[in-house]
Amino acid sequence: MIKRSFFALSKPGLTCDLLEPDPEAPQKIDVPALLTLLLPEPLDGSRDVLIQKGDPVKKGQKLQLYEDSIDYAVSPVSGTIKSIDTFTADDFSGLRTRIAIEKDTQATDQIEYPEMKHELSFAARHLNHLPGAPPFARLARTEVPVNSLIIMVSDTDLLTTTSQYMGTVHAATLQKGVQILKQITKVPKIYLVLPDRLQDRVRFDSMTLLPARLEYPETLPAMIMKNHLDKILPAGKTPEEMGICYIRAEAVVSLARAFETNAPVFEKCITLIDKTGTRHRVEAVIGTPLGQIFSQLGIQINELDRVVIGGPMQGFATFTPHHPVTPDMDTILVQDRKTITPLSDNNCVNCGKCIQVCPADIPVNLLVRFLQAAQYEAAADKCDLESCIDCGLCAYVCTAHIALSQYIRLGKHELQKLRTDV
């Protein structure tokens, strides 16, 4: 953890980690006997589900809940479905469906995979589950035509180097993937965000490079838009609504591999930071419970430790070490209970540190007063609630230890609910 410097006239300098020279290949995690797949779609008790407990599944088989479901998972192993139940991963992302699959060690057969097509509808139906979570389903559904694709060879959060690793070590595969991506999406402009300090290590031909500075939060999508594309993200809008789509380097690499082998890819590269701050790079099959990774690396998880999925500024804390590896999981951060800073229900003391660090120029000191009083509409109208880009810096520096990011996230969530009710 980076502590406040003794002299604090300037902003805190949080810098994203740079990929080490000559990065080691990731350590492979064994495929466990029981895998868990997460579907974003919740179970609907009134409808019949296509898959049932006890059904046999084959490697590469597409699993979806209903005929008209858009979301699906693809089984990385052959075996039997052990259970299907509801799962809450994160407070605000709603209910999900969890499918547990018991691996059949004897079975070696895998499903005949359809011939790869350079079509968006095909990609949305068959390639959306790839490691790195390519946004094909979203692209296929979007009402706003996407005019810029931005491939992220830089990581958005601190500590992690997954995207940098996948983008630089597999640069050649990435370039092949970009060609496929061009044919699939037919997006006119493709950019590649590369940390400025990596530019002499890797070459990408015939692509527009956007050199990203590693100072957090310069690596966040909204800041990249602002600094490189000269587009200001309007308050309350997502980059997709502006016709800009971000895609991880790993997703592009997985895409190229899937086309190369005409088979789905399941191996997800993850940066894991243990309690001592040591970084491990692992490769685990999607659906592997985190506990399997911890035991293979010899990381002991004790009562009241914190397991964070995603980086220290933007991730979320999971309640269970059984949480599976998902296609978008770049980082796992394990914190000892002793290093966890307690939050408080203090009032804002108006020290102004949040104002100094906020990249979106939000009056956080006023905003938090509205949010604490549950005045969400006033917070949006008067204090720019929707301009927040969720960088988490305000809560990082808060002297009063107020859970500012949580208040803001809750505020946005409640505001959306209020608006849909109307």
Partner 1 sequence: MNNTKLTVSHAPFWHDGDSLFKKNLNFILALLPAAIFGILQFGAPALGVLALSLSSAMLWEQIINMISKKPSTIGDLDSALIGLLFGMMLPAVIPWWVVVVGTFVAVFMGKMIFGGTGANPFNPALLGMAVLMLAWNMFFDFNTAYVNYEFSFTALAPLAAVKFQGAATELFPLNDLFMGKEVGAIGATFSLGLIIGGIYLILRGYIRWELSVSFIAGILVTAFLFYMASPQKYAGPWFHLFSGYTMLGAFFLITESASSPVQRIPMFIYGFLAGFMIILMRNIGTYADGTILAILLVNVVNPLLDNIRPTALGKDMSNA
- The answer to whether the beta carbons of residues 60 and 264 sit under 8 Å apart is yes
- Rounded to a whole number of angstroms, the minimum distance from the CB of residue 89 to partner 1 is 11
Asked if 348 touches partner 1 (CB under 8 A), the answer is yes
Judged by beta carbon, residue 66 or residue 316, the one nearer partner 1 is: 316
- Rounded to a whole number of angstroms, the minimum distance from the CB of residue 229 to partner 1 is 13
Judged by beta carbon, residue 137 or residue 389, the one nearer partner 1 is: 389
Judged by beta carbon, residue 33 or residue 319, the one nearer partner 1 is: 319
- Rounded to a whole number of angstroms, the minimum distance from the CB of residue 141 to partner 1 is 24
What are 333's strand-pairing partners?
A: 273, 308
Build a one-symbol-per-residue string for 188-227: x at contacts with partner 1 by CB under 8 A, - elsewhere.
----------------------------------x---x-
Q: Give the footprint of partner 1 on residues 1-30 (CB under 8 A).
A: 1-4, 6-9, 12
Judged by beta carbon, residue 114 or residue 234, the one nearer partner 1 is: 234
Report the phi/psi class of residue 116: left, alpha or beta, with left for phi > 0 and alpha for psi in -120 to 50: beta
Judged by beta carbon, residue 50 or residue 351, the one nearer partner 1 is: 351
Asked if 321 touches partner 1 (CB under 8 A), the answer is yes
Task: Name which position in 335, 370, 379, 412 contacts partner 1 (CB under 8 A).
Answer: 335
Q: Give the footprint of partner 1 on residues 381-420 (CB under 8 A).
A: 384, 386-387, 389, 392-393, 395-401, 403, 405-406, 409
- Rounded to a whole number of angstroms, the minimum distance from the CB of residue 208 to partner 1 is 22
- Which strands, in side-by-side order, build the sheet including 27-28? 27-28, 279-285, 267-273, 331-335, 306-309, 316-318
Q: How far is CA 403 from the centre of its chain?
A: 21
Piece of the chain touching partner 1 by CB under 8 A; list 51-59, 75-83, 140-148, 346-354:
346-354
- Rounded to a whole number of angstroms, the minimum distance from the CB of residue 308 to partner 1 is 5
CA–CA separation, 19 and 243 (whole Å): 30
- 81 HSE (CA, 13 A, CB side): 22
- Rounded to a whole number of angstroms, the minimum distance from the CB of residue 312 to partner 1 is 4
Report CA-CA distances (Å) from 220 to 194, 213, 223, 386: 13, 11, 5, 16
Site size toward partner 1, by CB under 8 A: 80
Q: What does the angle CA 307 – CA 310 – CA 311 come to, to the nearest 5 degrees? A: 95
Closest by alpha carbon to 236, among 81, 377, 335, 120? 377
Q: Give the footprint of partner 1 on residues 44-63 (CB under 8 A).
A: none
Task: Name which position in 337, 373, 417, 419 contacts partner 1 (CB under 8 A).
Answer: 337
Q: Give the footprint of partner 1 on residues 227-286 (CB under 8 A).
A: 232-237
The single-letter code of the amino acid at 405 is S
Task: Name which position in 69, 295, 375, 416 contacts partner 1 (CB under 8 A).
Answer: 295
Q: Which residue has the tokens 């139906």?
A: 125
Asked if 315 touches partner 1 (CB under 8 A), the answer is yes
CA–CA separation, 79 and 57 (whole Å): 5
Piece of the chain touching partner 1 by CB under 8 A; list 107-115, 143-151, 203-211, 305-313:
305-313
The total of other beta-carbon atoms located within 10 Å of residue 123's CB is: 25
Q: What is the DSSP letter of 111?
A: P
Burial of residue 54 (number of CB atoms within 10 Å: 0-12, 13-18, 19+) = exposed
Task: Name which position in 141, 147, 350, 373 contacts partner 1 (CB under 8 A).
Answer: 350
Judged by beta carbon, residue 112 or residue 303, the one nearer partner 1 is: 303
Judged by beta carbon, residue 104 or residue 305, the one nearer partner 1 is: 305
Q: Where are the alpha helices (DSSP H) in 279-403?
A: 290-297, 353-357, 364-372, 376-383, 393-397
Tokens encoding 397: 């520096």
Task: Name which position in 52, 302, 338, 420 contacts partner 1 (CB under 8 A).
Answer: 302
- Rounded to a whole number of angstroms, the minimum distance from the CB of residue 320 to partner 1 is 7
Tokens encoding 215: 């100072």
CA–CA separation, 395 and 343 (whole Å): 10
Q: Give the footprint of partner 1 on residues 152-171 (CB under 8 A).
A: 158
Judged by beta carbon, residue 25 or residue 340, the one nearer partner 1 is: 340
Tokens encoding 224: 């990249």
- Rounded to a whole number of angstroms, the minimum distance from the CB of residue 232 to partner 1 is 5
Asked if 291 touches partner 1 (CB under 8 A), the answer is yes
Q: How far is CA 166 from the centre of its chain?
A: 15
Name the maximum alpha-carbon separation found in the chain: 64
The single-letter code of the amino acid at 375 is Q
